[in-house]
Amino acid sequence: MSTRKFKKLKVLAKIEGTSGTDAGPTAAANGIVLRNVTFTPLEGEKVSRDLLPGNLGNQGGYLTGTYAKIEGEFDMAGSGTPGTPPAWGVLARMCNRAETITEDVSVAYSPISDGEESGTIYWNHDGVRHVLLYCKGNLKGDQTSGKIPVFKISLIGLLGTITDAVDAAPVLTAFKRPVIVSKANTSISIHGVPSTASPLESFAFDDGTKVEPRFLIGSESVEITDRVSTARAVVEARSLSVVDWFAKARAQPRVGDEIVVTHGNVAGNIVEMRGPKAEIDKVAQGETQGILNYSLDIDLCPDAGNDEWIITVK
């Protein structure tokens, strides 16, 4: 009897034609590579029996509404070819985003309020395959200076089969190598203030998608019920004559202005994120290496509906 190794993970993901019906992802076409993963293979609500049998003790109960959870990260990089969806596009689609392809130019992932897609995930951790159906989730992103930029996912899926299985190694060549977050590779503009004038230590966003497993008589599903998108920027503190973040945060009515984040310089490996109406909220002061900084909490608000945070790969 041999032990099972954590690093021997094979993940396949494919959009479902009918939500909750196994889409049949294959190793040749639907491979996914993740890092920093957490897998909860059996989650649910514990319903206690609460009997009164005349003595103390645990009376047991039932685990109902069972589902599985996946959390992980993947590289923030393009497909290598403008107008070709990146390998992680299937995960963005599961996270309440519509994919729009402009041939030979770009692929955009925009938030949606209806018609969301679900996916099937095969999670094989060294010989045990978990099939997750109706998968939907939330998307986040993190760009920290000197680090690898990443997207982060949190997915919920209904339980399919759990079996011993020897799956073929997935083809992962579609996942391209990212470039490090740096002055040379990354530019960020917040309310018209470029990162050259107000340098950043980091920038992160959270789609804030609320995902709920729903178990009814006659129906089991995973539903998207709300979305409240936010971001946080950690900027080097400069004089107010350069930029007055406090004035922007205190302005009434709230001032919603554009944020543009561009990472990468080579066509096919450029990831742009844009929010047309970003409201700066609280401002906190801190320090790094003895240098003062400000943490800006930001509300990402829609301008024309379903456009509060659009990710474009080009």
CA atoms within 13 Å, Cβ hemisphere of 110: 17
| 85 belongs to a structural domain | yes
Instruction: Kindly report which listed range (72-81, 106-115, 255-264) carries the lowest average pLDDT score.
Output: 255-264
pLDDT of residue 292: 97
Q: What is the pLDDT of residues 280-308, one digit of tens each?
A: 999 999 999 999 999 999 999 999 999 99
In a domain, 174, yes or no: yes
Nearest to 243 by CA among 174, 180, 182, 196: 196
In 3D, which of 121, 161, 175, 119 has the Cα closest to residue 11? 121
Cα 95–chain centre separation? 7
pLDDT digits 0-9 by tens, 35-91: 999 999 999 999 999 998 999 999 899 999 999 999 999 999 999 999 999 999 999
Q: What confidence score (pLDDT) does residue 101 get?
A: 98
Name the amino acid, one letter, at 45: E
- Owner of token pair 């400000």: 294
- In-domain check, residue 258: yes
Q: Is the per-residue pLDDT at 1 higher than 70?
A: no
In a domain, 104, yes or no: yes
| Cα–Cα dist 40/156, whole Å | 10
Give the integer Cα–Cα distance in Å for 98 and 310.
10
Q: Is 96 helix (H, G, I), strand (E, B) or coil?
A: coil
Q: Is the dihedral of CA 184, 188, 192, 193 positive or negative?
A: negative
- The predicted-structure confidence for 18-28, as pLDDT tens digits, reads as follows 999 999 999 99
The whole-number pLDDT of residue 119 equals 98
pTM of the full structure? 0.94
- Give the total residue count for the chain: 314
Q: What residue numbers bound the domain in which 197 lies? A: 9-48+58-313
In one-letter notation, the amino acid at residue 62 is Y
In a domain, 4, yes or no: no
Beta strands in 145-290 (DSSP E): 150-164, 186-190, 193-194, 200-206, 209-216, 219-227, 230-236, 256-263, 271-288
Residue 76: inside a domain, yes or no? Answer: yes
Domain count, the chain: 1
Q: From CA 118, how far away is CA 23, in angstroms rounded? A: 10
Hey, which bits of 81-164 come out as E strands? 97-102, 106-111, 119-125, 128-144, 150-164
pLDDT value at 239 more than 60: yes
Among residues of the chain, what percentage have pLDDT more than 70? 100
Q: What is the dihedral of CA 7, 10, 15, 16, to 10 degrees?
A: -120
Cα separation, 272 vs 262, in Å, equals 4
pLDDT in tens, 162-199: 999 999 999 999 999 999 999 999 999 999 999 999 99
| Within a domain: 3 | no
Say if CB 278 and CB 303 are below 8 A apart. no
pLDDT surpassing 80 at residue 255: no
Share above pLDDT 90 across residues of the chain, in percent, rounded to a whole number: 96
Q: Is residue 111 part of a domain?
A: yes
